[in-house]
């Protein structure tokens, strides 16, 4: 790919990104959405987060993990317990990392 093709690709991807992400902002009036779609969109961030996090937790190098001695599993359990108890995102991250790091660095899991 030469410089001209790279420039065309970057400009094209920029236009596509701006149009798709700004679709709802381009209109002067509010676009009416059906109630079923509005309720479905409430769960989109959770679904996107699960799609990113779950494979990272249960897979290693493209394969399902085959042992319970994986620091990620214990960190997820500890983080989920914290979130269930306190409902705080920052605490969830800190507790998960507080469990993950000693297991990974100390025990080599």
- Please compute the mean of the pLDDT values over residues 75-97 and round it to a whole number: 94
Q: Where are the domains of the chain?
A: 1-31, 32-66, 67-108
Give per-residue pLDDT as tens, 12-25. 999 999 988 887 77
The predicted structure's pLDDT at residue 38: 92
For 79-89, b/e burial (b = at least 16 CB within 10 A) is beebbeeeeee
Cβ distance 96 to 76 under 8 Å?
yes
pLDDT of residue 26 exceeding 80, the answer is: no
For residue 11, the SS3 value is helix
pTM exceeding the 0.85 threshold for the entire prediction: no
């Amino acid at each position: 790919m030469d410089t001209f093709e790279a420039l065309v690709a970057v400009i094209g991807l920029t236009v596509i990104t701006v149009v798709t992400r700004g679709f709802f902002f381009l209109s002067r009036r509010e676009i009416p959405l059906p109630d079923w779609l509005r309720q479905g969109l409430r769960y989109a961030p959770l679904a996107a987060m699960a799609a990113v996090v779950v494979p990272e937790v249960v897979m290693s190098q493209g394969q399902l993990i085959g042992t319970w001695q994986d620091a990620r599993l214990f960190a997820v359990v500890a983080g989920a317990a914290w979130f269930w108890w306190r409902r705080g995102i920052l605490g969830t991250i800190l507790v998960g990392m507080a469990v993950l790091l000693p297991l990974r660095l100390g025990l080599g899991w």
